[in-house]
Chains A and B, each alone.
Chain A
């Protein structure tokens, strides 16, 4: 198990600890950064992300709130417009539905509808998806990024690695706009290299997680794991996947997608969320609008099934995409 006290060039942290370290370093740097949420103090938040932060920062910067998602989101907005840098933790992203008025109707729009008078520098941390591929049922396991990707004025960030999680969260806290910061629960225990010093990963910049020349696979968050697993498997057959991680879902670094598709001429899009109205549809349409002449095969989507998330793992494993589904989609775009 990694700890925040590890040092050196080979330092590794879990995704969860990388997020905690970002919070800790930002709260030390700026005493107006405040974490708000249900049970974020001594309890450490719903999944333990903020454990030990209350001990260091106290009630001033780590505040338990009542179970009032909409009011807390609105409070964060008012605080952000008057000099505070709030980070709101929703215990589960599913619960952010209770705060959608404040996130989508208010926070997303104040800068625009007030003609630039106000900034709303705040972050909504949203744990989504199934934990370790275990379903917690229909209201505790959804992937809901598309709800927020639809709203102008919001930025939507979805890190896939511990490195990106730390750098993107620091960037999100420093950004002058409202940022929906999505954490996939199945990634919390995943370890990876994380420098101890503060650093930012720029919002709105995709990353090529693996280079390849035969098929572009676009995936974010936990779906990057599926794409990389498929890439490992197919490498044995001399099929090279290029895995593109948008990292920020809005605004989308579409040039990175386009450049890859122009190289590979084929695209597979992966999304744990249910198919209809999802981000993969948006990626696919943008590729079609811009790169149609470069495509040698129809684009394939690998998506969650259009059903509420079931509880039993036997059912959930059929609902959520698996690496084998990515492999099958790659074969389809290669061989029809």
Chain B
């Protein structure tokens, strides 16, 4: 634990810390429920779980307002839930229901939640990052102090548009927080084979902005970095790159065979690197959480996701004859 994270933890009040844990439980429960639906053949089209990576969106969103924006990725359920998305409408969207955020036209990979500031999941790798710049330009032109977070994974570091976006955000001093979730895997390919970037702060400094590398399994450390980054963006000091090292515990998508790693390695990861366990034991050490409190939180998450499932399952499919709606805005 770095000194700054230690200090920042003291800055976070009990309610904030409990909110973070509750959100992590909710994201975990959401993803596990989605996994079960997938196994029962009730989801399709590629569903990418963020189990193992929950600390990142939770630590980031803690410092965002409702009127701040995010752009998300194919692994985006956690980003949306942490930003405040309604899990009922999110689950309904995964199931392709008319009551979903996108009325069943998007699905897991193309979900957006404009009511809470999600400009969309952008499953084409790195494609959402330019849209984040556009939102930032909009804030500048309207003279607001809103900020936008662009999430992407280490796989996106192979896309040219990422470097174009870093360049443009610095040149125009845009209020963007770039958050790279480095889970070290692009589908099956290790980032050791594909990503040259090592020295995050040196890289960012060479372009004239701030880059910080954090332990993405530690919600406090993520939160501490995000607090500074959001503050910089809000006060007009331009972009920040938060590079969060993390692990995904599931395959690339539900049902993916994971031929690139051993089962026992994943078991060990789940034991040693679980962001929820790390965070909850931290709270317990500081006397902010006990067994009853944690059970209550787990139960609340379970109930919320249960009712989301019920809502989604009982919701109607879009009417077949409506396939032509929403091609053009009126």
Binding site for B on A (CB under 8 A): 31-32, 34, 60, 65-66, 68, 70-84, 86, 101-102, 105-106, 109-121, 152-153, 155, 176-177, 251
Chain B: which residue is nearest A60 at the CB level? B141
- Closest CB of chain B to A62's CB: distance in Å? 13
- Closest CB of chain B to A30's CB: distance in Å? 11
Q: Is B203 an interface residue (CB 8 A)?
A: no
Q: Per-position contact with A for B100-136: 1 when CB-CB < 8 Å, else 0?
A: 1111111000101110000110101001111111111
**Beyond A74-B127, A78-B137, 17 extra complex contacts between A and B, CB < 8 Å:** A31-B141, A70-B161, A73-B130, A75-B130, A78-B134, A82-B69, A82-B134, A82-B138, A83-B142, A105-B127, A111-B327, A114-B112, A115-B100, A116-B103, A116-B325, A120-B329, A121-B329
Chain A: which residue is nearest B328 at the CB level? A177
- Complex Cα distance, B136 from A117, in Å, reads 19
- Complex Cα distance, B226 from A233, in Å, reads 71
Which residues of chain B (285-330) have a CB below 8 Å from chain A? 325-330
Q: Are A112 and B164 CB-contacts (below 8 A) given A74-B133, A78-B135, A83-B138? A: no
Checking B100, B101, B164, B330 against A70 with a beta-carbon cut-off of 8 angstroms, the contacting residue is B164
- Closest CB of chain B to A60's CB: distance in Å? 7
- Complex Cα distance, B326 from A191, in Å, reads 38
Q: Is the CB of B71 within 8 A of A78?
A: yes
- Complex Cα distance, B104 from A121, in Å, reads 23
> Which of B25-33, B55-63, B165-173, B188-196 lies at the interface?
B165-173
Chain B: which residue is nearest A120 at the CB level? B329
Q: Are A153 and B328 CB-contacts (below 8 A) given A60-B141, A76-B134, A78-B132? A: yes
Which residues of chain B (34-60) have a CB below 8 Å from chain A? none
With contacts defined as CB atoms under 8 Å apart, how many contacts are there between chain A and chain B in the complex? 147
Q: Are A78 and B133 CB-contacts (below 8 A) given A84-B138, A119-B329? A: yes
- Complex Cα distance, B138 from A32, in Å, reads 9
Q: Is the CB of A110 within 8 A of B168?
A: no
Measured between beta carbons, the chain B residues less than 8 angstroms from A73 are 130
Checking B110, B114, B136, B171 against A113 with a beta-carbon cut-off of 8 angstroms, the contacting residue is B110
Checking A32, A79, A114, A119 against B102 with a beta-carbon cut-off of 8 angstroms, the contacting residue is A114
Q: Is the CB of A74 within 8 A of B141?
A: no
Which residues of chain B (196-254) have a CB below 8 Å from chain A? none
Measured between beta carbons, the chain A residues less than 8 angstroms from B132 are 78
Q: Is the CB of A34 within 8 A of B141?
A: yes
Checking B127, B134, B168, B326 against A79 with a beta-carbon cut-off of 8 angstroms, the contacting residue is B134
Q: Is the CB of A78 within 8 A of B141?
A: no
- Complex Cα distance, B130 from A65, in Å, reads 13
- Closest CB of chain A to B196's CB: distance in Å? 20
- Complex Cα distance, B141 from A117, in Å, reads 22
- Complex Cα distance, B127 from A108, in Å, reads 14
- Closest CB of chain A to B14's CB: distance in Å? 34
- Complex Cα distance, B160 from A310, in Å, reads 30
Q: Is the CB of A102 within 8 A of B105?
A: no
- Complex Cα distance, B127 from A105, in Å, reads 9
- Complex Cα distance, B327 from A333, in Å, reads 37
- Complex Cα distance, B130 from A80, in Å, reads 12
- Complex Cα distance, B141 from A31, in Å, reads 9
Q: Is the CB of A113 within 8 A of B119?
A: no
Measured between beta carbons, the chain B residues less than 8 angstroms from A113 are 102, 105-106, 110
- Complex Cα distance, B161 from A234, in Å, reads 52
Most buried by B among A34, A111, A177: A111
Measured between beta carbons, the chain B residues less than 8 angstroms from A32 are 141-142
Chain B: which residue is nearest A78 at the CB level? B134
- Closest CB of chain A to B13's CB: distance in Å? 31
Chain A: which residue is nearest B146 at the CB level? A82
Q: Is the CB of B122 within 8 A of A79?
A: no
Q: Is the CB of A78 within 8 A of B105?
A: no
Q: Is the CB of B124 within 8 A of A101?
A: yes
Q: Is the CB of B105 within 8 A of A118?
A: no
What would be 30 A-B contacts, judged by CB atoms less than 8 Å apart?
A60-B141, A68-B168, A71-B161, A74-B130, A75-B130, A75-B133, A75-B134, A77-B131, A78-B119, A78-B134, A78-B136, A78-B138, A79-B141, A81-B119, A81-B131, A82-B138, A84-B138, A86-B134, A102-B127, A106-B127, A110-B120, A112-B326, A113-B105, A114-B112, A117-B101, A118-B112, A118-B114, A121-B329, A152-B327, A176-B328
- Closest CB of chain A to B260's CB: distance in Å? 27
Q: Are A114 and B106 CB-contacts (below 8 A) given A75-B168, A152-B327? A: yes
Q: Is the CB of A117 within 8 A of B130?
A: no
Q: Is the CB of B100 within 8 A of A68?
A: no
Measured between beta carbons, the chain B residues less than 8 angstroms from A60 are 141
- Complex Cα distance, B168 from A121, in Å, reads 22
Q: Is the CB of B168 within 8 A of A71?
A: yes
- Closest CB of chain B to A292's CB: distance in Å? 25
Most buried by A among B112, B129, B131: B131
Measured between beta carbons, the chain B residues less than 8 angstroms from A102 are 127, 130
Measured between beta carbons, the chain A residues less than 8 angstroms from B105 are 112-115
